[in-house]
Amino acid sequence: MKKILHISMLSLLPMGYAWGDVVSNFANEKNTNCKPFPIMDKMAWEVSFTTGSFAGGYKIDQVYLSVVNAIWNSSASEQGAKFRVQIWDSAGSAPGSLIDPLYGPTTVSDNLHPGVINYNSAGAALLNANTTYWVVATVLGGNDLSVTLEATDNHAEVSNPSGWSIGDYSLIKDSDGSVSAPDKCIPYLKITAVQVPEPSTMALLGLTGAGLALLARRRK
Q: What are the backbone dihedrals phi and psi of residue 71, each rounded to the nearest 5 degrees, phi first?
A: -120, 125
Identify the domain containing residue 153 by its residue range.
22-199
213 located within any domain? no
Domain annotation covers residue 68: yes
Predicted confidence at residue 215, as pLDDT, reads 52
Q: What is the pLDDT of residue 158?
A: 96
- Which CATH number characterizes residue 124's domain? 2.60.120
Q: Is residue 12 part of a domain?
A: no
User: CB pairs under 8 A, 24+ apart, for 201-206?
Assistant: 201/14, 201/56, 204/12, 205/9, 205/12, 205/13
In a domain, 214, yes or no: no
Would you say residue 70 lies in a domain?
A: yes
Phi-psi region for residue 111, left (φ > 0), alpha (ψ -120 to 50) or beta?
A: left
pLDDT in the model for residue 217: 60
Split into its structural domains, the chain has a count of 1
The residue among 152, 182, 155 whose CA lies nearest residue 65 is 152
- Count of beta carbons in the 10 Å neighbourhood of residue 175: 12
| Residue 188 lies inside a defined structural domain of this protein | yes
pTM, to two decimals? 0.82
In a domain, 209, yes or no: no
Structure confidence at residue 5 (pLDDT)? 42
Q: What are phi and psi of 3, to 5 degrees?
A: -65, -40
Sequential pLDDT tens for the chain (220 residues): 444 444 433 344 444 444 589 999 999 999 889 999 999 999 999 999 999 999 999 999 999 999 999 999 999 999 999 999 999 999 989 999 999 999 999 999 999 999 999 999 998 799 999 999 999 999 999 999 999 999 999 999 999 999 999 999 999 999 999 999 877 999 999 999 999 986 644 444 444 444 445 555 655 5
Residue 192 belongs to a domain:
yes
